[in-house]
Amino acid sequence: MSKIYDVLIVGGGPAGLAAGLYASRSKLDTLLLETNSQVGGQVSTYHEMENYPGALDTSAPELMENFREHAEEFGTEIKQAEVEEIKPDGFIKTVSTKDGTEYKAKSVIVATGAEPRRLGVPGEDEFKGKGVSYCATCDADFFVDLEVVVVGNGNSAIEEALYLTKFASKVTVVVIHDEGTMDADKIYQERAYANDKIEFVWNSTLEEAKGDGLVDTAVLKNIKTGEKTDFSCDGIFIFIGRVPRTDFLEGTVELTDNGYLKTDDKLETNVPGVYAAGDVREKFLRQVVTAAADGATTATAAGGYIEEEEYWQKNVVEAEEDVLVAFWSPTNDESMEMTNKLENMDLEAQGAKLVKIDTYKNTRISNRYDVTEVPTLLKLQDGEVTDKIAQPTESEIEELV
């Protein structure tokens, strides 16, 4: 029989690594699968790391290396593998990789992040790696003393443009908005405006990448006039947002129209025991600090899910005798009276057992059986509900027993 992990994490960026740390530290047997040979996700391709609390003199790659070391220190197992499918069949989930390996886990945390969005213009695919790039950290040193174009105006685009000025002789930022309007934070805008190597082309977008073997021209289009201009350059860097890596989940969990994972307040998807953390889920802010927070949340939630489900499986579903499940709350006197009465009825002698469910702590079980008021009493035989009574009277309890 193959090993069954408590938690299986798909993706080794800040969200996945933080989830690994929190899960392992909670003594959960944890496996993390990462497609690339190096963990860290997109963050590892950045350079500066100025806004992670407490990390004043740490680069982005260094921070991710610290994340990895911290997770492994508490026992997170990290393997290189590309996940192809998740089958959430009941409590035990099956995760299949492209090399044909199958892993079993009680809970799954999807932290696959997002990848650079493509413009889809002529020449973009043809010149990828031949002048068209989506990563300044990866490719900047190919453009020493050359002129490059940056398409985009958000934080990533402007940060990457600033980084490129350390290598290129000139960086031209193509902005789709009116002059003086950018999506980047003010601090990045101020730095860009103050940098002598950076120039701007406003109200424009990239229409085509051209060249002879390597990029030598960016065709720019003014979105107001429609005029197209051949702009001479040696490279084109595109930073226009990201697309979530959720293709392998279509038909398995609920996605937004944009392909992001939908989650509740515990970051659980619509599939019980499957969670989402980081840039892959629908959220307001996508930063390293929020990804790490997501990882902590999902690991903690997964631990609670496992504990609740294992208790239910062992004491109710797999029980040989009839089971009376008393849904109660410590703030409800009637429910406490019901449980006290049941505890004094010597159920074992009558071939039954009592299981108490605190509706505040065990919301999952309460919701599963549509328990909306306490006290409520269920009777189960072979894991199936045979009777359900809300606000049971003393005679109803005795009759049910």
Three-state SS annotation for the chain: CCCEEEEEEECCCHHHHHHHHHHHHCCCCEEEEECCCCCCHHHHHCCCCCCCCCCCCCCHHHHHHHHHHHHHHCCCEEEECCEEEEECCCCCEEEEECCCCEEEEEEEEECCCEEECCCCCCCCCCCECCCEECCHHHHHHHHCCCEEEEECCCHHHHHHHHHHCCCCCEEEEECCCCCCCCCCCHHHHHHHHHCCCEEEECCEEEEEEEEECEEEEEEEEECCCCCEEEEECCEEEECCCEEECCHHHCCCCCECCCCCECCCCCCECCCCCEEECHHHECCCCCCHHHHHHHHHHHHHHHHHHHHHHHHHHHHHHCCCCEEEEEEECCCCHHHHHHHHHHHCCCHHHHCEEEEEEECCCCHHHHHHCCCCCCCEEEEEECCEEEEEEECCCHHHHHHHC
Rounded distance between C-alpha atoms, residue 19 and residue 113, angstroms: 14
pLDDT tens-place string over residues 81-104: 999 999 998 899 999 999 999 999
Token pair for 235: 């490279």
Rounded distance between C-alpha atoms, residue 210 and residue 234, angstroms: 10
Rounded distance between C-alpha atoms, residue 342 and residue 340, angstroms: 5
Rounded distance between C-alpha atoms, residue 230 and residue 218, angstroms: 6
The answer to pTM > 0.85 is no
Mean pLDDT of the chain: 94
Token pair for 280: 């892959």
The alpha carbons of the chain give a radius of gyration, in whole angstroms, of: 28
Q: What percent of the chain has pLDDT over 70?
A: 100
Catalytic residue from among 57, 89, 138, 382: 138
pLDDT tens-place string over residues 289-301: 999 999 999 999 9
Q: Is residue 47 pLDDT above 80, yes or no?
A: no
Q: Which position has the higher pLDDT, 136 or 1?
A: 136
Catalytic, 125? Answer no
pLDDT tens-place string over residues 107-126: 999 999 998 899 999 999 99
pLDDT at 369: 94
Residue 354: count of CB within 10 angstroms of its CB: 17
pLDDT at 27: 98
Rounded distance between C-alpha atoms, residue 152 and residue 183, angstroms: 9
pLDDT at 111: 98
Catalytic, 138? Answer yes
pLDDT tens-place string over residues 287-332: 899 999 999 999 999 999 999 999 999 999 999 999 999 999 999 9
pLDDT at 18: 98
Residue 232: strand pairing partners: 217
Query: In terms of DSSP bridges, do strands 198-201 and 170-174 run parallel, antiparallel, or are they unpaired?
Result: parallel
Rounded distance between C-alpha atoms, residue 395 and residue 176, angstroms: 74
pLDDT at 394: 86
Rounded distance between C-alpha atoms, residue 357 and residue 114, angstroms: 40
Rounded distance between C-alpha atoms, residue 401 and residue 386, angstroms: 12
- What's the whole-number mean pLDDT along residues 12-39? 97
Locus of tokens 């990789």: 97
Q: Is residue 338 pLDDT above 80, yes or no?
A: yes
pLDDT tens-place string over residues 380-396: 999 899 999 999 998 89
Q: Which of 8, 28, 3, 265 is nearest to 112 (CA)?
A: 8
- What's the whole-number mean pLDDT along residues 237-260? 94
Q: What percent of the chain has pLDDT over 90?
A: 83
Q: Is residue 45 pLDDT above 80, yes or no?
A: no
Token pair for 348: 């074992």
User: Confidence class of residue 1 from pLDDT cuts 50, 70 and 90?
Assistant: low
Catalytic residue from among 135, 216, 358, 387: 135
Q: Which domains does the chain have, with CATH numbers?
A: 4-115+243-312 (3.50.50.60), 132-240 (3.50.50.60), 320-400 (3.40.30.10)
pLDDT at 242: 87
Catalytic, 183? Answer no
- What's the whole-number mean pLDDT along residues 345-355? 89
pLDDT at 327: 96
8 Å CB contact between 24 and 31: no
Q: Is residue 139 pLDDT above 90, yes or no?
A: no
Catalytic residue from among 6, 139, 234, 322: 139
- What's the whole-number mean pLDDT along residues 337-356? 90
**Backbone torsion region of residue 129, taken as left when φ is above 0, otherwise alpha when ψ lies between -120 and 50, otherwise beta:** left
